[in-house]
Amino acid sequence: MKFYILASLILFCLVIKHAIRKNRKIEKEADESFWERESRANEVRKKSIEGLDYIPIPGFVLQLLSQRETAPFPEYLEIVSSLCHSKLLNLAGISNTELKLTYGAANLPVLSEYEENFSLFVRTLDQAASLYYEEALTKEAAKDVDAKASLEAARSLWEYAVKIGSDITSSYLGLAKIYAKTEPDKLEELLLSARLLTTSKSDIIVRKLEEFGQSIC
């Protein structure tokens, strides 16, 4: 019996040792592959980025942000107005190495800037939409006739954020709450948009939307 236990323990240790060696080998190969690609990427010459899918800032966004003079709307308007003079790119799911391999290492700083502009834009859309939504709920409770207008403003801002690929969870959940009240059939479409995201947040957003859908059934 003691021999059996000892043999089992030795076998277990050998299996663990083999697994550790295998993992180390895989990690080493992955690390070598990464640095090999990174080295090649740094040698790629600069290519044109004029034909990329730049994100436009529609006039209705500026219009909705300018409808409220109370803080922080003027700040939101200033941010978005300044972004109108730059370029925005949604580069979610694309690594810096991939960007350099595709467009050249010299383009990485400007592409990173355009991606940061996009991130700032969708954050601002979400913040403004959230305030409009809270305003709609307050007006609805007070039976104010303008409640619908505030709700539509929130909806328009969130819908555009989702359309251009935002991965901010609150944008999807906020829009889901509006759809649940107005057009429940669109909840499935919103869920599909979340599933099509190429960022790590996709699974989280999908799970949150599914939980929300179950809570209203």
Q: Which residue has the tokens 């190969």?
A: 29
Q: Is 80 exceeded by the pLDDT of residue 31? A: no
Would you say residue 29 lies in a domain? no
pLDDT tens figures, 110-137: 999 999 999 999 999 999 999 999 999 9
The answer to whether position 36 is within a domain reads no
Helices 202-215 and 169-182 cross at an angle (nearest 10°) of 30
Q: Do the domain assignments include residue 172?
A: yes
The sign of the torsion formed by the CA atoms of 44, 35, 52, 85 equals negative
Q: CA 172 to CA 64: how far, in whole Å?
A: 19
16 belongs to a structural domain: no
Tokens of 191: 């869920």
Q: Is residue 163 part of a domain?
A: yes
Provide the greatest CA pair distance for the chain: 83
Give the domain range for residue 82.
42-215
What mean pLDDT is predicted for residues 73-88? 97
> d(Cα 94, Cα 96) in Å, to the nearest integer?
7
Q: Is residue 18 part of a domain?
A: no
Give the number of domains in the chain.
Answer: 1
Distance of alpha carbon 207 from alpha carbon 202, whole angstroms:
9
pTM: 0.84
**Residue 94 maps to a domain:** yes
CA triplet 180, 172, 89: central angle to 5 degrees?
Answer: 145
Tens digits of per-residue pLDDT, 99-110? 999 999 999 999
Q: Which amino acid is at 62?
A: L
